[in-house]
């Protein structure tokens, strides 16, 4: 493991940086990409924001109303995912010029294993410099890199000198690098677990590493794993994820709602949209998940795994409505709803030797709907009980 050279690449304020790149008038100004703030009464959250906006305390995933309160003079823009995706693809192509071992974590973040290829570019440090230069050449965007023997250390390092940073952790420095850092730096260690660790006097990664495993019994099966990470032992490989893992859609209501009709219509519309996207991508899935956020931002998920995979809107809608009916809201209103289908496989792959007659009729109906939407647009036809657009 000590011989590995892992790079974590994190694009700097990616969405906002693209907006500033494409519109010079936005450079140097606080740019917030996300939901419409509506003068501080908006719903939804911040997708990302420029470093100028961060000086006002604005952060990703912050409620857009709070962002407006902190920075009313900001430039608020809706996301343009087509442009962002085009930039992401160009960046990914640049990575392949340096190594075939790439793990794309998100649209603006990736791990690269340059262990086998760094010698071709003048060594690990020079390879990192070239990666940064190539990304900037292709996209006119900056990125921050962390170079380390492990994925955990590389990710932490990439975050230390943003924007446009490069932090190197040599193998012999690994344990000393991790030791003084706060335990919240460990990916996968959530705030609740961190709070319990702090109550026990464990605040840094070094303190966690030195802790007796018996004292960490409350962490359950994660105890040994987290302790290993804290001691610098992290043998996770940079692994290319195969294909899309899930398809989902969400809606944030203008005002928190308890209207049963509006909630049902929204869930059916979301199910319809997820179904349409699955069919466009030639996929079907077995696990249907409901996401629900209540007033006060309490967020829950409920899931159900089907016996046979599906991409049919009526099946997804039926399961989602059942999950919602079983959910106890405690009298609270609903702020956000989401529908996700995961456990994906190719739509043409058979799971049973016997084709249900109802499924055959369903498929014909869905094919007719697909054809109408392809010719006249997504909003040209929608299902009874659902919203026309969402």
Question: Residue 366: which pLDDT band, with cuts at 50, 70 and 90?
Answer: low
Q: What is the mean pLDDT of the chain?
A: 88
Q: Is residue 61 situated within a structural domain? A: yes
Q: Strand 299-310 and strand 75-77: pairing?
A: unpaired
Question: Residue 224: which pLDDT band, with cuts at 50, 70 and 90?
Answer: confident
Residue ending a domain, choose from 81, 106, 130: 81
Q: What is the pLDDT of residue 354?
A: 41
Give per-residue pLDDT as tens, 109-148: 999 999 999 999 999 999 999 999 999 999 999 999 999 9
Phi, psi of 208 (to 5 degrees): -65, -40
Contact 334, 256 (CB under 8 A): yes
Domains held by the chain: number: 3
Q: Is residue 313 situated within a structural domain? A: yes
**One domain for residues 224 and 261:** no
Return the residue matching tokens 């997708």.
Answer: 47
What are the catalytic residues? 109
Q: What is the pLDDT of residue 360?
A: 53
Buried b (16+ CB within 10 A) or exposed e, 191-206: eebbeebeeeebebbb
Q: What is the pLDDT of residue 183?
A: 94
Lowest mean pLDDT: which of 18-32, 204-218, 347-361?
A: 347-361
Q: Is residue 96 situated within a structural domain? A: no
Q: Is residue 86 situated within a structural domain? A: no
Lowest mean pLDDT: which of 5-19, 184-198, 217-231, 373-387?
A: 373-387
**One domain for residues 189 and 282:** no
Residue ending a domain, choose from 25, 46, 81: 81
Which of 287, 277, 289 has its CA nearest to residue 320? 289
Please check the confidence at residue 357 and state whether its pLDDT lies above 50.
Answer: no
Give per-residue pLDDT as tens, 282-321: 899 989 999 999 988 888 999 988 888 899 999 999 999 9
Peptide bond into 168 cis (omega under 30): no
**One domain for residues 204 and 295:** no
**One domain for residues 217 and 281:** no
Give per-residue pLDDT as tens, 231-279: 999 988 898 765 667 899 999 898 899 999 999 999 999 999 999 999 8
**One domain for residues 254 and 363:** yes
Q: Is residue 149 situated within a structural domain? A: no
How many angstroms separate the CA atoms of 220 and 193, rounded?
A: 11
Average pLDDT over every residue of 186-196: 85
Look up the CATH number of the domain holding residue 302.
Answer: 3.30.1490.100
**One domain for residues 375 and 251:** yes
**One domain for residues 298 and 208:** no
More confident residue, 318 or 371: 318
Q: What is the pLDDT of residue 330?
A: 87
Q: Is residue 6 situated within a structural domain? A: no
More confident residue, 390 or 311: 311
Q: Is residue 102 situated within a structural domain? A: no
Look up the CATH number of the domain holding residue 200.
Answer: 1.10.150.20
Domain range for 41 is 15-81
Phi, psi of 111 (to 5 degrees): -105, 140
Contact 114, 95 (CB under 8 A): no
**One domain for residues 311 and 268:** yes
Return the residue matching tokens 């390879």.
Answer: 127
Residue ending a domain, choose from 59, 81, 103: 81
**One domain for residues 264 and 335:** yes
**One domain for residues 287 and 198:** no
Question: Residue 55: which pLDDT band, with cuts at 50, 70 and 90?
Answer: very high
Q: What is the pLDDT of residue 266?
A: 95
More confident residue, 6 or 104: 6
**One domain for residues 369 and 267:** yes
**One domain for residues 272 and 324:** yes
Q: What is the pLDDT of residue 67?
A: 96
Look up the CATH number of the domain holding residue 38.
Answer: 3.40.1170.60
Q: Is residue 307 situated within a structural domain? A: yes
């Amino acid at each position: 493991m000590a011989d590995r050279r892992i790079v974590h690449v994190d694009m700097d304020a990616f969405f906002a940086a693209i907006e500033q790149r494409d519109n010079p008038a936005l450079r140097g100004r606080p740019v917030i990409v996300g939901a419409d703030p509506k003068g501080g009464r908006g719903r939804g959250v911040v997708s990302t924001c420029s470093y100028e906006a961060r000086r006002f305390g604005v952060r990703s995933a912050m409620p857009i109303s709070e962002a407006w309160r902190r920075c009313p003079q900001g430039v608020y823009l809706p996301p343009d995912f087509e442009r962002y995706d085009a930039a992401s693809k160009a960046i990914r192509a640049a990575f392949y010029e340096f190594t075939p071992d790439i793990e794309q974590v998100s649209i603006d973040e990736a791990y690269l294993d340059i262990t086998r290829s760094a010698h071709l570019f003048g060594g690990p440090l020079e390879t990192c410099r070239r990666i940064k230069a190539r990304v900037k050449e292709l996209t006119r965007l900056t990125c921050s890199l962390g170079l380390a023997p492990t994925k955990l250390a590389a990710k932490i390092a990439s975050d230390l000198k943003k924007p446009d940073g490069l932090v190197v952790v040599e193998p012999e420095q690994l344990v000393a690098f991790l030791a003084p850092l706060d335990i919240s730096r460990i990916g996968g260690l959530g705030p609740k677990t961190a709070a319990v660790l702090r109550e026990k006097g464990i605040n840094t990664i070094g303190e966690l590493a030195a802790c007796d495993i018996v004292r960490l019994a409350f962490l359950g099966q994660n105890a040994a794993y987290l302790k290993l990470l804290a001691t610098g032992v992290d043998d996770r490989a940079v692994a290319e994820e195969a294909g899309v893992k899930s398809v989902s859609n969400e809606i944030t209501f203008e005002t928190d709602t308890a209207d049963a009709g509006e909630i049902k219509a929204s869930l059916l519309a979301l199910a319809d949209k997820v179904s349409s996207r699955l069919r466009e991508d030639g996929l079907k899935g077995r696990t249907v998940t409901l996401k629900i956020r209540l007033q006060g931002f309490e967020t829950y998920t409920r899931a159900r795994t089907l016996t046979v995979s599906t991409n049919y809107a009526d099946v997804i809608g039926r399961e989602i409505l059942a999950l919602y009916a079983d959910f106890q809201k405690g009298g609270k209103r609903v702020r956000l709803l989401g529908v996700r289908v995961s456990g994906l496989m190719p739509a043409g792959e058979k799971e049973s030797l016997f084709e249900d007659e109802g499924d055959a009729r369903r498929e014909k109906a869905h094919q007719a709907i697909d054809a109408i939407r392809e010719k006249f647009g997504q909003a040209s036809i929608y299902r009874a009980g659902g919203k026309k657009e969402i």
